[in-house]
Amino acid sequence: MSWKPTKKKSRLPRWIPEWLKVCINVCFRLFLVGLVAFLAIASYFYYKASQFDLDEVANLDQHSVLLDAHGEELAVLGNASNKIATYEDLPEDLKNALLAREDSRFFEHCGVDFYGLGRATVRNIKDLSFTQGASTLTMQLARNTYEIREKSLQRKLLEIALTLRIEAKYDKDEIMSYYLNRIYFGEGCYSIEEAAQHYFGVPTSELDLGQCAMIVGIIRGPHIFNPHNNLQAAIEQRNQVLARMVDIGKITQDQAEAAMKAPLKISKKNDEISARNYAQGAIISHLSTIIDEQKITEGGLKVATTIDAKLQTSCEKSITSLVAETPDLQAASIIIDNKTGAILSIVGGRDYRTHQFNIALKGKTELGDAFTPFIYLAALERRQLPIKNQPVKTGKQIGKKETISIAKRLGLNGIFLESDIYNGSVLVSPLQAVTAFSVIGNEGSRPQTHFIKDIKTAKDLTIFKNSPESVQVVEAGNSAECLKLLSKQGKVYRYTSSSTSKRSLWVMATNKAQTAVIWVGYDIPRDIPNRKQLLSEMNELITQWLK
């Protein structure tokens, strides 16, 4: 007798057609596979979410800081007052406006609005992208706290897992309070309290209905919807929030219309300078060119700069004192490290409080006879013998075009008047001048000047690291020969403008490790008084800085 396996009896009723039984079995197996896959994915992302410290949610210090070259705090970006509003401080109108605008089912769901998430998922599948997020307040809080920015399925699943953990640890009132004290409201305001006082001049607890709606309207576009930058757009957002509050039954139509007609009572924009000096101003301005502006405004960044705080303070005092006795006379200085290109100090004018234009970076002033060292170097590069204190005769040995070509190689990318080039008819900034002069003291190598070494998040994640590279632009032997043609005092090699230069005074110096430049002149060029005395003081200062 041969053995045959017994056919397993189906548990499904006999009246069900065989093809339907097959479909049911397949669907059941697919369901089991899907369930196992879901549990595996959920376990994986829950594990990933468990690696995050939930106490960070309640840590509301989100201001970015600038650190000096030695790691000490140089400045705090944004409003450093760190004003926090408690849940009890929040007016009911503000809570309702936030719910209407961002998450109307906030007090009903578990942190994830699965209905909204499903609707967004269908839209994303249709668009073949992740444009719709269906983010609840708690999900936005998770994203802002842990810097989860990438729009992807993985990011959304991690965000959901973190959201569920946050909801398990904190109650709804705390979550709303943390959200409003962490979100960015534009113009350096990192909390609802800062925003209320900045835009309306009142504490959060005193905001009226219209103000609550307007301030909530800022959230989706802090730069384009704040009333100081675009009042009409801010009003439109306020009206949208009020209309939505009516839709969900938080206010009546009459209340909405009254709020729209009420006086705006917006405070004048506070024009207080966020930076305290030229160095900080330059760094803050430069930040947005190397990282996304959103990362700056969200706060929590640690920006390691090249500025030597003590040297910066010393240079500021010296430059202010240098021109203090002559009204309207401007001065600028800059010191760099020859090897790395690090900008150690920069002063862009006589007083940052009254003159924010940074001459050291953006000014275009004539070099005059301070162009002479670069003519020497150009001649040496073309195997010609420089004639000391004779820039015209020296330059004629190699020609105007060759002189300009080599000058540009050194870093002088200004405006050249070719017909008078040997007399220094070239407009450059002090930054360009210090870069070019550093080549003479740096064995022919031109450094890449920079302010910022690296940028880290609050979690010490490096999001930017500077890797400056020097370029060999002239032969080392030629730069060494050029040094011999300069004045020397101790270890400092120096070139000083002639007192016959009436409208622009320069002193450039290097000690081979560092290079410094001081410039003195007027915003609108005119004759400078007491030139000999000024040049003497400039020489003394620059030698003192580099000794």
- For 310-336, write each residue's pLDDT tens digit: 999 999 999 999 999 999 999 999 999
pLDDT > 70? residue 79: no
Helix or strand or coil: residue 419? helix
CA gap 518, 542 in Å, rounded:
7
For residue 53, being part of any structural domain is answered with no
pLDDT > 60? residue 298: no
Q: Could you tell me the pLDDT band of residue 13, with boundaries at 50, 70 and 90?
A: confident
Q: What confidence tens digit (pLDDT) does each residue in 200-246 have?
A: 999 999 999 999 999 999 999 998 999 999 999 999 999 999 999 99
pLDDT of residue 522: 95
Are residues 221 and 337 part of one domain?
Answer: no
Mean pLDDT of 16-35: 80
For residue 60, being part of any structural domain is answered with no
Are residues 343 and 225 part of one domain?
Answer: no
pLDDT > 60? residue 131: no
**368 near 497, Cβ under 8 Å?**
yes
Are residues 312 and 257 part of one domain?
Answer: no
Which residue did the predictor score with more confidence, 181 or 148?
A: 181
CA gap 225, 237 in Å, rounded:
7
Q: Which of 260-274, 395-409, 412-426 is least confident?
A: 260-274
**532 near 394, Cβ under 8 Å?**
no
CATH number where 171 lies: 1.10.3810.10
CA gap 312, 270 in Å, rounded:
27
Query: Based on the structure, what is the number of domains in the chain?
Result: 2
Are residues 413 and 317 part of one domain?
Answer: yes
Are residues 212 and 331 part of one domain?
Answer: no
Q: Which one of 233, 261, 289 terminates a domain? A: 261
Strand order in the sheet with 415-416: 365-366, 426-428, 415-416
Mean pLDDT of 11-33: 78
Question: Tokens 């370029």 appear where?
Answer: 471
Q: What confidence tens digit (pLDDT) does each residue in 133-146 have?
A: 568 999 999 888 88
Are residues 367 and 246 part of one domain?
Answer: no
Question: Tokens 């409208």 appear where?
Answer: 503
Are residues 474 and 365 part of one domain?
Answer: yes
pLDDT > 60? residue 82: no
Q: What confidence tens digit (pLDDT) does each residue in 528-544 have?
A: 999 999 999 999 999 99
Are residues 403 and 331 part of one domain?
Answer: yes
The overall average pLDDT reported for the chain is 88
Which residue did the predictor score with more confidence, 130 or 446?
A: 446
Q: What confidence tens digit (pLDDT) does each residue in 363-374 have?
A: 999 999 999 999
Are residues 362 and 236 part of one domain?
Answer: no
**Residue-number span of the structural domain to which 314 is assigned:** 306-460+467-546
For residue 295, being part of any structural domain is answered with no
Sign of CA dihedral 209, 188, 269, 140: negative
Helix or strand or coil: residue 422? helix
CATH number where 422 lies: 3.40.710.10
pLDDT of residue 176: 96
**215 near 184, Cβ under 8 Å?**
no
Are residues 315 and 256 part of one domain?
Answer: no
For residue 390, being part of any structural domain is answered with yes
- For residues 391-421, one letter each, b for 16 or more C-beta atoms within 10 angstroms of the residue's C-beta and e for the rest, the string is beebbbbbeeebbbebbebbbbebebeeeeb
CA gap 383, 198 in Å, rounded:
64
For residue 66, being part of any structural domain is answered with no
User: How far is C-alpha 485 from the geometric centre of its chain's CA atoms?
Assistant: 43
Q: Could you tell me the pLDDT band of residue 273, with boundaries at 50, 70 and 90?
A: very low
pLDDT of residue 155: 81
Sign of CA dihedral 284, 285, 290, 291: positive
Encoded amino acid at 90, one letter? L
CA gap 140, 163 in Å, rounded:
9
pLDDT of residue 127: 59
Q: What confidence tens digit (pLDDT) does each residue in 107-116 have?
A: 998 888 877 7
For residue 439, being part of any structural domain is answered with yes
Q: What confidence tens digit (pLDDT) does each residue in 482-512 have?
A: 999 999 999 999 999 887 788 899 999 999 8
CA gap 108, 116 in Å, rounded:
13
Q: Which one of 261, 289, 316 terminates a domain? A: 261
Q: What confidence tens digit (pLDDT) does each residue in 132-180 have?
A: 556 899 999 988 888 776 667 778 888 888 889 999 999 999 999 999 9
pLDDT above 70 as % of the chain: 89
* Backbone torsions φ then ψ of 474, nearest 5 degrees: -140, 165
Which residue did the predictor score with more confidence, 83 or 438?
A: 438
C-alpha Rg value of the chain to the nearest Å: 33
Predicted TM-score (pTM) of this structure: 0.68
For residue 346, being part of any structural domain is answered with yes
Are residues 219 and 367 part of one domain?
Answer: no
For residue 388, being part of any structural domain is answered with yes
Q: Which of 52-56, 177-181, 272-276, 350-354 is least confident?
A: 272-276
Question: Tokens 């706060």 appear where?
Answer: 299
How many angstroms separate the Cα of 20 from the Cα of each of 29, 60, 213, 216, 448? 14, 59, 57, 55, 74
Question: 534: Cβ–Cβ under 8 A, 6 or more apart, which residues?
Answer: 322, 505, 520, 528
pLDDT above 90 as % of the chain: 63
CA gap 237, 201 in Å, rounded:
20
Q: Which one of 207, 236, 261 terminates a domain? A: 261
Are residues 229 and 358 part of one domain?
Answer: no
